[in-house]
Amino acid sequence: MNVMARFLGNDASPTAPRRIAIITDAWKPQMNGVVRTLEATIVRLRARVHRVLVISPDLFASVPCPTYPEIRLAMPQPGAVAKRLAAFVPDAIHIATEGPLGLAARRWCIAQRIGFTTAYHTQFPAYVSRRTSLPESLLWRYVRWFHGPAERIMVATHSVREELREQGLGNLHHWSRGVDLACFTPGAPPPPEYAALDGPIQLYVGRVAVEKNLEAFLSSSFPGAKVVVGDGPALGDLKARFPDAYFLGRRSGRDLAGCYAGADVFVFPSRTDTFGLVMIEALACGTPVAAFPVPGPLDIVTDDIGALSDDLDRAIGAALLSRSADCAAAGAGYSWDAATDQFLSGLVPLDQLAVRTLPLPLPA
Burial label for 80, CB within 10 Å (0-12, 13-18, 19+), is middle
For residues 242 and 68, the model is more confident at 242
The domains found in the chain, sorted by start residue, are: 3-178+337-357 (3.40.50.2000), 192-334 (3.40.50.2000)
How confident is the model at residue 30, as a pLDDT? 81
Task: Report the percentage of the chain scoring pLDDT > 70.
Answer: 89
pLDDT-derived band of residue 360, with 50, 70 and 90 as boundaries? very low
How confident is the model at residue 361, as a pLDDT? 38
What global pTM score does this model have?
0.83
Q: What is the pLDDT of residues 126-180, one digit of tens each?
A: 777 766 778 888 889 999 999 999 999 999 999 999 999 999 999 999 999 999 9
How confident is the model at residue 31, as a pLDDT? 78
